[in-house]
């Protein structure tokens, strides 16, 4: 009977330890200092995003201005990337594939052919044009 009593106490002690650890982790979760791993271990997930707030540009200037601003941003980004690849080609690096990829995805276009060929960034605001004729 003494052995059975110890076995029962061992399980009770393990349960006590597990509950104590859980309480400490739940304190950390409630305090906001827990790690993502600890939250997932106890089945607590982050809050789901119910809505996305409207951007400040849309509030002030409207949707059209916001779209135009986004397209301008990507046009400038295309220009910078084309210039970077052109400089890399002049320096002797292998950037021809990257420029070709930009042309394939219509982020850049070519004017002319042969030795007179020049590569330029495409403007998303103007739409896609067939420059490679």
Distance CA 73, CA 57 (A): 14
Instruction: Tell me which residue of 101, 129, 98, 103 sits closest to 117, measured CA to CA.
Output: 103
- In whole angstroms, give the CA distance from residue 4 to residue 67: 74
Q: Which residue has the higher pLDDT, 50 or 89?
A: 89
For 13, the token pair is: 């002690």
The mean pLDDT of 32-45, rounded to a whole number, is 73
What CA–CA distance (Å, rounded) separates 35 from 64?
A: 41
Residue 120 pairs in a beta bridge with 109
DSSP H helical segments within 32-92, as ranges? Answer: 36-41, 56-61, 63-90
| Chain centre distance of CA 45 | 20
Q: What is the pLDDT of residues 77-110, one digit of tens each?
A: 999 999 998 888 887 777 888 888 888 888 888 8
């Amino acid at each position: 009977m003494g052995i059975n009593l110890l076995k029962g106490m061992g399980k009770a002690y393990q349960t006590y330890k597990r509950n104590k650890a859980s309480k400490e982790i739940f304190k950390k979760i409630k305090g906001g200092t827990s790690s993502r791993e600890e939250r997932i271990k106890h089945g607590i997930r982050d809050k789901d995003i119910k809505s996305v707030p409207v951007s400040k540009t849309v509030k002030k200037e409207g949707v059209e201005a916001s779209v135009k601003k986004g397209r301008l941003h990507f046009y400038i980004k295309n220009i910078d990337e084309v210039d970077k690849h052109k400089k890399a080609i002049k320096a002797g690096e292998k950037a021809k594939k990257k420029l070709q990829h930009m042309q394939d995805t219509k982020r850049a276009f070519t004017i002319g052919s042969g030795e007179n060929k020049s590569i330029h960034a495409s403007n998303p605001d103007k739409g896609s044009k067939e420059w490679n004729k």
